[in-house]
Structure 1
Amino acid sequence: MECAKAIMLTELGATQTLSDTPVETSGGPPVASGEVGQSGCQHEVPGSRVAFPARSTRYIRDPRRAGQAENGRRARGNGGEEPAATEKPGGIAARYRERSGLPRTKVDVVGLGLNATDTVLVVREFPALGGKERVALVSEQAGGQVATALVTCQRLGLRTRYIGKVGDDRAGRFQLTSLRREGVDVRYTRVVNRAFTQFGYIIVDQKTGERTVFWDRDARLAVRPSELAPEAIGSAKVVHLDGCDVEACLKLAGWARRSGLPVVADLDTVYKRVEKLFPHIDYLIASANFLPAVTGQDDPFRVLEYMAREYGVRAPGMTLGRDGALVLWQGRYVYSPGFVVETVDTTGAGDIFHGAFIYGLIADWEMGRTLDFSNAMAGLNCTALGARGGIATRAQAEALMRRGSRHVNPHYRTVASDKTQ
């Protein structure tokens, strides 16, 4: 998977000589000590322009510019760190904590699931089968469902811990470096000898922001239940899962339930025996296609009712692409339309949504506000390239919530209103 020593690409009309020497573009919050892309939910909103990723990105370019980039980062400084989500007295996280009797938190969120290193290729137009298209831009970025959700939480001021595996290759080192730089606790992340890190090749149509993904995951990266340690979640407020390694997710969710911790899940792939996980999930925000695939029902309202009735999911919900998100919460439907943004790349929108959702959950916001915030964060990420290219600040998301236009789906709004009355 090593990049070529020199590649000639045209970037918006300019010719560059590219190299395999990494240049990190960073900035943002201070760092503590130390996809999807390919498997995340699809949030498609039409758009046109290309923006460049802000962080967690390796541009493959002339190494002589690395020093200039580093000097620029030092001059800019760290920027403003997001204030941590403030719990209301008696809020949801506090209530779970009282029941659990666990020690004072050292991390807020523990996640078990996918990480990936994505190579993003931007083309002006996706070619027909058998056709050719010149690449306008290439970048290598860190991604993965749970890893990206945790980075979102970290950027918003929460403390996070990632449980997963990487290979002992360059892509694995890149992923670990990215997580450490963001401040994510990776003490329970294992490096697997002679394994290759999960990767994705993501082709982005510059005109629409639509992406097509080619990916693979080494079977040796699977997390086994025997490799988990209960102390990994002993200080958390929330546990986040993507269901990839089902048996490991079951074990972690069981520990969380017995400790009184809420379990959030981002499910969009029908893994074998994934239904065994449903009864252990409190907040299930699945992709639009996942729940119909596992229940055999197309109506989203009936699907959510089924998940609550048959599996006891406290808050079953689904993301709806540009139409936003729908959740069945405390016996009523909460529909939050998506925001209108100028889309560059939809990669990672679902991952960002879940990170923002967890932030709202810990802050004990109302469900409507939490969904609006999550949609705003997901939409803003679509305005830049890559799974983590456009992670916004809380202030930016709240500004979009106040002034942004919405993709209101009349059917969802009407039915949600009728069923709630």
Structure 2
Amino acid sequence: MSSDSAVPFHRSPIIVGFGGACVDILAVVAAFPKPDDKIRSTNLKIQGGGNAANALTCAARLGLKPRIISKVANDTQGRAALEELEADGVDTSFFVVSKEGCTPFSYIIVDSQTKTRTCIFTAGYPPMIPEDLSRDSLLSALEGAKLVYFDGRMHETALFIAREAFCKNISILVDAERPREGLDELLTMTDYLVCSERFPQAWTEVASLSRALVSILLKLPKLKFVIATLGAKGSIMLEKCFDDGRQIEEVDVDSSLESLTKQTDDSIATPTCIPSSVTKFRAEGIGSVCGRLYVGTAEKIPPSELIDTTGAGDAFVGAVLYAICKNFSPGKMLPFASCVAAAKCKALGARSGLPYRRDPCLASFSL
């Protein structure tokens, strides 16, 4: 990491993350193989991976001071994973290192033709449990933290950490890829939710994405906003606003989302954000919530520059962590996160393309 990219730690907000840390073995192929095929890779990379580890690496490169809580084994892969995180400025002193067992790893097949990736994950052993983390160590990890992030994995330990953070009034952000065991309780303590496109409807069992976002805010009173990431289609954010007694128009949320989406300009390559006014969004059969709806576009990456989407969601989350700590408005946060995710997609692996704070692609955000 170059010295002009780093930010002095004493001026950097501290965040804590808990979740997956592993090793990724990425093989690039001309086209995804058919059953029983034998093919050759055109490129190979072995790199650190895992949702939490990737997101915190992104946040560190942008200028935060992340501490990670996770578990690896004392094997070649585990030692390499720790060294790589430390080189990027992530504090690994709260890692649990098992004397025996194996570190989690993923085989990732990157299809050059379709620009897709297929992940095959192998869990580590032994798994992390709450008893692996003493309360004294947890209190030390949370000291001075502005934000705690969870990727939804290892739910028993996640809840142990989250309950302590909640008691200390430390804000919590959750990245929800899909419904998981223990996630419901974790979400009751959550301030910020970033989720996959499929999660809102899967979790709420509501017919449309926009109505599902309304349902999420109604089910989780502590939540300040929910973002659904849509890949190349950008993102949608519903931010909760307080009804101060003014006469606020109530409108159908599906219609509002459709109207905002029509205002996006496909000819603009850089990420943009279209906001609504403060409105009472009504979801038929569910209820209404006072808030503001945002439609964020993704950066349009030329096909020749699109290399690998592995970890794009983690990069987006890492940028959101930075944006929250730096008090970005949603209108700045969504384009910023999309820009960071796009930079990642221009290199192989979840971390190779992650930008540093002084990267020219981030110059317009005045970091």
TM-score (norm 2): 0.79
The aligned residue for residue 262 of structure 1 is 171
> Is 1:283–2:192 an aligned residue pair?
yes
- Mind listing any 5+ residue stretches in structure 2 that lack a counterpart? 241-290
- 2:318 is matched with which residue: 350, 355, 360? 355
Cα distance in structure 2, aligned partners of 1:387 and 1:351: 8
> What is the match of residue 33 of structure 2?
127
Contact 1:263/1:281 (<8 A) preserved: yes
Go from structure 1 to structure 2 and tell me whether the alpha carbon gap of 1:298 and 1:346 turns closer, same or farther (over 3 Å shift): farther
| Equivalent residues in 2 for 1:83-122, closer than 5 Å | 83=7, 108-122=14-28
* 1:125–1:133 Cα contact (<8 Å) kept: no
The answer (yes or no) to whether the contact 1:107–1:159 under 8 Å persists in 2 is yes
Note the C-alpha offset of 1:262: 1.2
Q: CA deviation at 1:249?
A: 1.6
1:155-199 deviation digits (Å, cap 9, x = unpaired): 111111010100111110110110111121111101112211110
Q: Which residue of 2 aligns with 1:305?
A: 214
CA contact (8 A) 1:315 1:329 kept: yes
1:296 to 188, 202, 205: 205
Aligned residues: 308
Letter aligned with residue 262 of structure 1: S
**Residue identity in the other structure for 1:126:** F
The answer to whether 1:205 aligns with 2:120 is no
1:329 has 2:239 as partner:
yes
Partner of 1:92: none
**Equivalent position of 1:42 in the other structure:** none
Counterpart residue identity of residue 326, structure 1: I
CA distance in 2 between partners of 1:156 and 1:106 (Å): 10
Question: What is the SS of the residue equivalent to 1:334?
Answer: strand
Flag the 1:138–1:363 CA change in 2: closer, same or farther, 3 A: same
Is residue 154–residue 184 contact of structure 1 (8 Å, CA) maintained in 2?
yes
Larger relative contact order (C-alpha < 8 A, sep ≥ 6)? 1
- What TM-score results when the alignment is normalised by the length of structure 1? 0.69
User: What do you get for the CA RMSD once the two structures are aligned?
Assistant: 2.1
The amino acid across from 1:319 in the alignment is T
Q: How does 1:53-64 map to 2 (within 5 A)?
A: none
Q: Is the 8 A contact 2:103 2:125 kept in 1?
A: no
| 2:181 alignment partner AA | K
The alpha-carbon distance between structure 1 residues 397 and 240, as it changes in their structure 2 partners (threshold 3 A), is farther
Counterparts of 1:186 and 1:83 in 2: how far apart (Å)? 18
Partner in structure 2 of residue 47 of structure 1: none
Q: Which residue of 1 aligns with 2:90?
A: 184
Distance change >3 Å, CA 290–CA 225, structure 1 → 2: farther
SS at match of 2:176: coil
**Counterpart of 1:230?**
139
Matched, 1:314 2:240: no
C-alpha displacement of 1:387: 0.6
- In 1, are the aligned partners of 2:22 and 2:103 still within 8 Å (CA)? yes
Amino acid at match of 1:321: G
2:262 is aligned with 1:338:
no
Give 1:131 shift: 2.2
Match of 1:161 among 42, 64, 67: 67
Looking at structure 1, the residues matched to 321 and 55 of structure 2 have their Cα atoms a distance apart, in angstroms, of: 9
Larger strand fraction of residues: 2
Partner of 2:255: none
Q: Which runs of 5+ in 1 are unaligned?
A: 1-27, 29-77, 86-103, 403-421
Question: What is the percent sequence identity of the aligned residues?
Answer: 31
Q: Is the 8 A contact 1:203 1:212 kept in 2?
A: yes
Structure 2 CA distance for partners of 1:333 and 1:141, relative to 1, 3 Å: same
Cα pair 1:376 1:401 within 8 Å, conserved? no
